[in-house]
Chain A
């Protein structure tokens, strides 16, 4: 079974530029998550989708971050314009359950963003 795919693995941009990350979850997984992990910290949830609807985006900085999940499969996370404090690893995860009972999450390898 193929795992969660993310790209790019690494991205370096200057502040005020824009960047987009892509995620392809495990086939059949209804729920998709984007987490931000700053160096030395645990992952922080940015947005959670169930199929192509948003379940939780309360911690997404909506003035600069946006995310979409078209057709309930792939997802993109965009940052525009980027700030220095956005330097982090952006992790995509998916789960089989439909959002209830907190099932196991499967993570991708992450996209490491450096903002100069």
Chain B
């Protein structure tokens, strides 16, 4: 079964606003990754945060990780229409045979 579960499932925002997505997981992890998927395309890696890190930035992306709550959040600041996509978190479990397990995904629509 897949570990990550994103919340909320769908988000519609105006261009320029911030978008926040959450992900929870069940077992201890080595790291957590976020991926973006545009409609009809493959997934693209956005950012990886290791279990001993609490926050990481990459451009307009900010990821936090709370291992005590087994949760992560992805913040996209100053959103653009091109950010319209589905966003997935994926966890590399300590006990999962190196299997990267994906959550159900958040669909984000940025309205120009």
Contacts and interface: CB of A to CB of B under 8 A. Distances in A.
Contacts of B54: none
A107 B100 CA distance: 13
Contacts of B48: 102-104
Given A105-B45, A108-B42, A44 B102 contact: yes
B19 to A, nearest CB: 18
Interface in A8-42: 33, 35, 40-42
Contacts of A101: 30-31, 92
A48 B92 CA distance: 14
A99 interface: yes
A89 to B, nearest CB: 9
Interface size class of B (residues with CB under 8 A): 20 to 34
A15 to B, nearest CB: 24
B97 A56 contact: yes
Interface residues of A, number: 27
Contacts of B42: 4, 91, 93, 107-110
Nearest to A45: B99
Given A42-B104, A110-B42, A100 B88 contact: no
A20 B8 CA distance: 36
A77 B44 CA distance: 22
Contact of A109 (B35, B41, B45): B41
Interface string B35-60: 10000011111001000000000000
A106 interface: yes
Interface string A72-116: 000000000000000000010100000111111111111000000
B2 A44 contact: yes
Nearest to B9: A40
A88 to B, nearest CB: 13
Contacts of A91: 42-43
Nearest to A43: B102
A20 B100 CA distance: 24
A70 interface: no
Interface of A: 4, 33, 35, 40-45, 48, 55-56, 58, 91, 93, 99-110
Closest 6 CB pairs of A and B: A102-B92, A107-B42, A42-B102, A107-B43, A104-B45, A99-B98
